[in-house]
Amino acid sequence: MKKILIPITGLSLMVILSVGCNKNISNRTDNTAALSTDNNDLGAGSWKPVFLSRADSFPVAAPDAINSTSYKADLNEIKALQQNLTKDEESKIKYWAAGGVLRWNEIMRDLMAKYNLPTVTNAAGNYPAPDANNPFAYPLFPFTNPPYAGRAYAYVSGAQYDALIACWYYKTKYNQAAPYKNDSSVDAKFINKTDLPSYPSEAAVLAGAAAEMMKLLFPGEIANIQQKATEQEQAAIASGAATRAAVVAGDALGRKVAQLYITRARGDHAGTAGGNPTIWTNFETIAMGLGETPWVSLEVPRRPPMLPLFSKVLPCLFDSATIPTFRPGPPPSTNSEEFKKDADEVYNFIKNPSRENIGIVQYWADGVGTYTPPGHWDAIAAEDFVKKNWSEVRMARNMALLNMAEMDAAIVCWDIKYFYFNPRPTQVNSSIKTLTGIPNFPSYVSGHSMFSGAASTLLSYLVPENAAKYQAMAKEAGMSRLMGGIHYRVDCEVGLQVGNKVGEYAVQRAQADGGN
């Protein structure tokens, strides 16, 4: 009998365990508390916008008075919604209550990861380029590689920031309190009450700006993005934070500001950054003319280099003429002993990698199918920012500063990469196997190092108590590329320094934009 009991007990235990253990996972920000700002930044209407010329460039009509019929009708809409809130509606209010800037950044990161897939070859063995006019056909538009992503994050964050400056301007101008302050039978549902004037709605400004901007950046996602925008606006109304009128005005304002950014984006030269075969060959010719081994794609078949003319894209924090001033001196000549030693060092890192190093490489890999290094720094920043209880306009400002720094770091980095056109370690020593995918562009300097240097410099300024942490992370992010076998040490060290310099421009802007 005992013999039978043992296995039966074992099997029963397994059944219990498999039924009892909950495998559901949750995201770190799923239960982020509703925004609770210490300071509403009522002076933000006079902060310095990025591409918006003045806070009142786009007029917003005064709201109807709180004793008007239309305002009362808006209140009735809120009351009716609040009486019949479904669980789903409640969870949407809670989701958006954590902060619209946070949530839109998360939505952006999701899209970046979704679209960050390099094209496969077609039947002829070529790599077709994504087409913005035909985003649903393979290859899907866009391919959100790190430069594309850096630029997209910057434009959405920037449009949201500029639009919120205008929003804050009109909020203080019209000074209309939130519905729950004007009518005691309107609740503040799952949100914290605030003295911040509610017209126009900041939630709707964020939704309108993001949804409009994304039409350009993610033309295949318009329906999904519009749905998110509508959810956010509906949540603002149902929570008692804003009237329909405040939402309509906010949405329109957000979209108008986004239009400025769309015009900017259409003319920023990103559309032609892919170059053409003549341009691709020219980089090789120049490098060979200098007696150097030029970079070649290590993919089979050889893939055209990633966005070789991204250096021509207009930066946000400085003018185009400044771009070449960031260029560091050249890396060791591919013919030199020093270069050989550098490649040997890479080989020694990957020959027998420790588990710790493999983990660091994966932690920072941010390669295919991920939200890219700028997205990784956005995630780090957003989760730290949330703890600061900043107003939406300050949150937007700081995300915009970060993402402009990342976009400009991409522009400067791509300038350096194609100026020197330096081969990857594996190109000169095929026994260097890599612990992550090998990026399809030249080696010097490391993009990760530049993104991380720029981000850590700005974040150290914005959240000084975390400065040591950000700097250690940036250094680790850079060195992870050496540990992974895809960069020489000099790429990482110089990249970090140049990245810091780009970050300084963002700090200078932060010091002068009125937000301090």
**Residue 239: which residues within 8 A CB-CB, separation 6 or more?**
93, 96, 97, 188, 189, 190, 191
Backbone phi, psi, residue 113, to 5° = -65, -35
181 or 303: CB nearest other proteins: 303
Helix (H) or strand (E) run with residue 318 in it: none
Q: Binding other proteins by CB under 8 A: which of 156, 196, 432, 445?
A: 432
| 320, 362, 389, 466: which one binds other proteins (CB under 8 A) | 362
102, burial (CB in 10 Å: exposed 0-12, middle 13-18, buried 19+): buried
* Residues that contact other proteins, how many (by CB under 8 A): 55
Computed from CA positions of residues 288, 290, 293, 297, in that sequence, does the dihedral angle turn out positive or negative? negative
Query: Which range, of 146-154, 176-184, 330-338, 356-364, touches other proteins by CB under 8 A?
Result: 356-364
| Contact between 123 and other proteins per CB under 8 A | no
Among 116, 105, 192, 114, smallest CA distance to 154 is for: 105
**Closest to other proteins by CB, 253 or 361:** 361
Name the minimum Å distance from CB 3 to other proteins. Answer: 6
Closer Cβ to other proteins, 138 or 464, answer by number: 138
Size (the chain), residues: 516
Asked whether the beta carbons of 335 and 292 are under 8 A apart, the reply is yes
Q: Which stretch binds other proteins (CB under 8 A): 225-233, 353-361, 393-401, 462-470?
A: 353-361
From the CB of 362, what's the least distance to other proteins, in Å?
4
Closest by CA to 221, choosing from 120, 139, 99, 114, is 114
Q: Tell me the C-alpha distance between 168 and 166, whole Å.
A: 5
Q: Is the dihedral of CA 430, 436, 441, 443 positive or negative?
A: negative
For residue 438 the two structure tokens come to 């090998």
Among 66, 279, 286, 379, which residue sits at the site for other proteins (rule: CB under 8 A)?
379
Place of tokens 């010097």: 444
Q: Does 120 bind other proteins (CB under 8 A)?
A: yes
Which residue reads 């094209």 in tokens?
Answer: 119
Residue 365 makes contact with other proteins by CB under 8 A: yes
Of 23 and 87, which has the nearer Cβ to other proteins?
23
**Which residues lie closer than 8 Å to 241 by C-beta, 6 or more apart?**
178, 179, 180, 188, 191, 198, 201, 203
| Segment lying near other proteins (by CB under 8 A), choices 181-189, 393-401, 432-440, 469-477 | 432-440
Q: Which segment (27-35, 77-85, 211-219, 267-275) binds other proteins by CB under 8 A?
A: 27-35
What's the Cα-to-Cα distance from 507 to each of 44, 456, 462, rounded to whole Å? Answer: 18, 11, 8
- In terms of CB distance, is 123 or 321 closer to other proteins? 123
Contact (Cβ atoms closer than 8 angstroms) between residue 189 and residue 239: yes
The DSSP 8-state label assigned to residue 395 in this structure reads H
Determine contact, residues 229/211, Cβ cutoff 8 Å.
yes
Point out which span in 79-87, 202-210, 212-220, 368-376 binds other proteins (CB under 8 A).
Answer: 368-376
Using the contact rule CB under 8 A, the part of the chain among 43-51, 69-77, 170-178, 435-443 near other proteins is 435-443
Q: Is residue 14 near other proteins by the rule CB under 8 A?
A: yes
Helix (H, G, I), strand (E, B) or coil at 147: helix
String of contacts with other proteins for each residue 79-118, x by CB under 8 A: ---------------------------x--xx--xx--xx
Q: Quick check: 145 binds other proteins (CB under 8 A)?
A: no
- The nearer residue to other proteins, 91 or 362, going by C-beta atoms, is 362
Six-digit token string for 492: 């990482």
Residues that bind other proteins (CB under 8 A): 3-4, 6-7, 10-11, 14-15, 17-18, 21, 23-29, 106, 109-110, 113-114, 117-120, 138, 298-301, 350, 353, 355, 358-360, 362-363, 365, 368-371, 376, 379, 426, 432-435, 437-438, 485
